[in-house]
Structure 1
């Protein structure tokens, strides 16, 4: 399948003609405004909800292959407790000044799956940390195996990161939801994903190599301690140099010194 090269047809009217009615100036810079009122609730397989602070869940409470339900004001997704595969990553469309969805519930990723082979996380405790709009999930398996998910309940910006560790290079597969597709942004020359509106997203790798790309599926080889992140909105179209080669205590954001140009008219 050939990768789509534009978000939609580019004629004399260009991308701006099909833009949402949101003012361009409010369409999605990664500021604290995008996280206003955000905060996750994590529901365990037995129905118990963790809403704030930290908790450690024993393996006996986590049946193999069962699901954590992560629900926020702006973001929702599910996590397989045995592999930390994430499913049904969705923006709720909740009102926000920098909303990218036009107020419409918007599924973004059908799945983000790390292939751990025959290994699982079933032997380890699950650590949950919740603070304001931030979430950290961490679970260790046998030997050196460890998986971490960091997420933010925000309408835009850097809001998801998956980190495998102690498993050598791990194949991570991103599958977009129906209606979403990867495309080459004509204003930046870089690959974004979108749905034909002003919605913009981008995979954000760190110490990871892209192996394949189609309209809807991308595979990556992620080194131990690397990560596969995701950014939305203006952050997804900035002409940045990309992530550094960090493999220990990496953060979801990389510090920018000075300003970065934004050439996509949805945000400029």
Structure 2
């Protein structure tokens, strides 16, 4: 069941069309990723869905409600972690949670959130003294204090070190495990591949593709390489196999470049010709490759 339905969403700032007919849906219980280069319209789209910005056209339904007309009702059922969230440095962790809980008619017990998100020992710590990872855990707890059905997380792991990023990934999976639907805006391809059930790539105010991360990668016709070292047997005639673009060899070291599922055809040919190889490596296509192919620019 879709908890978010967006149809023909349009938004213009002066002469700039930021969103030009954007449509997508988010299913209940999934982690849905939103990607795009700077200025692609992804943040504006999310802010329209959250009810923070009024669209110029199209329709939006979140849990069956209009986010502008029914903003008060939806605020009780959605949680938001904005890209530039900040709190006063002197505000204590428990004070922040207690304050946010007061905004809701039926909030979670923020004391339980302290324990659930590993903040119990930081209960009396001031926000300005928290590490980056601790701040992110607090922001997640604040987004969940209203016991939402849908939560929006915008650039949650920006600026975190690799260890803190992966710890935050575990937290996001934990949110979904509780039955909450997650909309994740991210700048990291590996993050989307790891977390998201489906993702939409925005470019110039439109969605250029929407699929599972693996489905998006499969859409592109980019070249990739298969590398191995010959141990025994003569190199099979692989140059003419479907998808193979070129074969280069330096002594016993071989690089086969191709498209599509050429690696499976090459492996089968080597087996038929009883060619033994070692150090076999296939440089798989990634979501980053797909992003560049679809938008014409690297992700930043």
TM-score, normalised to structure 2, is 0.25
* Structure with the larger helix share: 2
* Structure with the larger strand share: 1
Larger Rg: 2
